[in-house]
Amino acid sequence: MDASYAIEATGLQCGYENKIVLRELSFAVPKGELFFIIGGSGCGKSTLLRHLIGLHQPTQGTVKFFGNVFDSRDQAARRALLKTFGVLFQSGALWSSLTLRENVALPLELHTSLSKRERGDLAALKLAQVGLAGFEEYYPSEISGGMRKRAGLARALALDPAIVFFDEPSAGLDPITSRKLDELILQVRDTFGTTCVVVSHELASIFSIADRVMLLARDQPGCVAIGDPRQLARTSDDPRVREFFQHGDFSAQLA
């Protein structure tokens, strides 16, 4: 493994207090890949995400970003890392008292020396990139759930991150809105070369845009399978893999 990888995780053990959720987890995500962390409820997807973005420190193992070891206990390193990736939380996590422009401008205020006007202009540009031109002065309560997800993505993109993490981006969205968000995620990757790590259990999204997936399962605190989702669905003999991918009618996706 080398700096050609956006993320390298080696021997990770993740958990809370005395409960181990994941152990001996090793994987690598090349630059520019659209990588999904998948599995059913309770398998550790969100736990892994929280450890990757530094909200929790792994009890064992290391995480590297572009070849550099990240230790969330090092505050200087943490601040530097925050400038290199963005996060789209499941709810969008927008500040209800701020307009969309102000929400998107907030990372710019915290991490750049841009003037207020420059921050506002750049925030408007980021909103336009996700299809929200003209909504800069709206508050989160005044727009739909899908639009809030787009605004959250605009904020995640504010600092032109090399990596964007998505926590269940399709949660709570209707199929049409979910598909449009998938297209937007793909557009972000293809336009900016951004590495995208997506936590999801939505098969429609997985088959539509994922380059590779890593499947986690509740009965094994580690990686069950990793690879192209279509190939795994067609060829894996692991009953946990087959059970996950055969949930619902997605035979057309496997043709």
Summarised one tens digit per residue, pLDDT across range 130-163 is 999 999 999 999 999 889 999 999 999 999 999 9
At residue 3 the predicted structure's pLDDT band, cuts being 50, 70 and 90, is: low
Parallel, antiparallel, or unpaired: how do β-strands 5-16 and 19-30 relate?
antiparallel
As a whole number of angstroms, the distance between CA 4 and CA 29 comes to 9
Domain boundaries, the chain: 5-84+161-254, 95-160
Can you tell me the mean pLDDT for 34-39? 95
- Model pLDDT, residue 72: 61
Q: How far apart are the first and last CA of the chain?
A: 34
Can you tell me the mean pLDDT for 169-173? 85
Find out whether 186 and 34 touch, Cβ atoms under 8 Å: yes
Q: How far is CA 62 from the centre of its chain?
A: 19
- Model pLDDT, residue 251: 47
As a whole number of angstroms, the distance between CA 228 and CA 219 comes to 22
Model pLDDT for residues 215-234, shown as the tens digit of each residue? 998 877 778 999 999 999 99
Point out the least confidently predicted range of 13-17, 165-169, 241-245: 13-17
Q: What whole-number percentage of the chain has pLDDT above 70? A: 94
As a whole number of angstroms, the distance between CA 77 and CA 66 comes to 13
Dihedral of the alpha carbons of 179, 183, 184, 190, in degrees to the nearest 10: 160
- Model pLDDT, residue 253: 52
Whole-number mean pLDDT of the chain? 88
CB-based contacts of 211, cutoff 8 Å, min separation 6? 33, 34, 35, 228
What are the tokens at 143?
């727009």
Alpha-helix runs per DSSP H in 112-214 = 116-129, 145-156, 175-192, 203-209
Q: Does domain 5-84+161-254 have CATH number 2.130.10.10?
A: no
Higher pLDDT, 41 or 71: 41
As a whole number of angstroms, the distance between CA 195 and CA 132 comes to 23
Q: How far is CA 249 from the centre of its chain?
A: 26
Q: In the predicted model, is pLDDT for residue 107 greater than 50?
A: yes
Output the CA angle 186-210-221, nearest 5 degrees: 135
